[in-house]
Structure 1
């Protein structure tokens, strides 16, 4: 029985090695893509968890004071009338904020920075920060005062 391939030409080793090389390149490419996608996924999850701050009411924060000591928390409430003390020279703002629904729930807040223009008594504020070591004063790194909408007065007049 005669060999279908001529013996002088030998075994076609080049095409086998080319196929193996292509398989290796494909595997390397797929592995690199998986690593890139995994890295991007990790960065997205890490970014969300680092910037994701819990949003709580004053009553919720007061009920669980250890949570804001461990991790930053975002709190919403209204500025208690007569509680604002602002040292303009040192840019130190101290005030009390109360829960919007449970008005008997209040907490002391300290903020170092420029006083927002819309900040006043009864203003709705959003604070981001954590309690100090004593657990008595909420130290805000961010203070946002919500501006009353021009449409609110129109609705109240009707």
Structure 2
């Protein structure tokens, strides 16, 4: 092998090594990636009981029930369908009925209950997770207006 061939083989070997490392990282992260689903999505397509997912929508009015200790039960709705959520922990300060929320956890199709281990609430009056806002806009219940996006029911 001459000098040029050695250099090319080293570069090719390095590229193959980097591609293999990237493939391993991507395959490892594939199990950790959590996608957003609305209540309608969860009920319309099969979800295996051990799949970790994100559920997003609005906290349904009148459904927040505080249990023993830090246990809370509430429903998340996209105004078309709703899912019961149980959570054992401290809720974010801005969590309240009628506000946007994203819950991470596992949905059990047999009991139709979503067990959340993480609750994310909006951080100011104009914030809504993009996926939640897009799903609500697609259903015609979210409208842009002065001061940022607001639910269509708030404009009435």
**Pair in the same fold by TM > 0.5:** yes
Match of 1:122 among 95, 98, 101: 98
Q: Is the Cα contact below 8 Å between 1:96 and 1:108 reproduced in 2?
A: yes
Give the unaligned 5+ runs of structure 1.
1-19
Instruction: Identify, as 1 or 2, the structure richer in strand.
Output: 2
Aligned-pair CA distance for 1:44 = 3.8
Alpha carbons of structure 1 residues 22 and 33: separation in structure 2 relative to 1, 3 Å: same
Q: Is the Cα contact below 8 Å between 2:103 and 2:116 reproduced in 1?
A: yes
Aligned-pair CA distance for 1:146 = 1.3
Aligned to 1:140, what secondary structure does the other structure show? strand
Residue 49 of structure 1 corresponds to which residue in structure 2? Answer: 30
Aligned to 2:47, what secondary structure does the other structure show? helix
Residue 80 of structure 1 corresponds to which residue in structure 2? Answer: 60
Instruction: Identify, as 1 or 2, the structure richer in helix.
Output: 1
Aligned to 1:75, what secondary structure does the other structure show? strand
Residue 92 of structure 1 corresponds to which residue in structure 2? Answer: 71
Aligned to 2:92, what secondary structure does the other structure show? coil
Aligned-pair CA distance for 1:48 = 4.2
Q: Deviations over 1:74-128 (max 9, x none)?
A: 1211111221122362x2111111114x2xx111101122111111111111111
Alpha carbons of structure 1 residues 47 and 153: separation in structure 2 relative to 1, 3 Å: farther
Q: Is the Cα contact below 8 Å between 2:48 and 2:109 reproduced in 1?
A: no
How many residue pairs match? The answer is: 132
The CA distance in 2 between the partners of 1:133 and 1:62, in whole Å, is 8
TM-score by length of 1: 0.66
Residue 16 of structure 1 corresponds to which residue in structure 2? Answer: none
Structure showing greater radius of gyration is: 1
Give the unaligned 5+ runs of structure 2.
128-144, 151-156
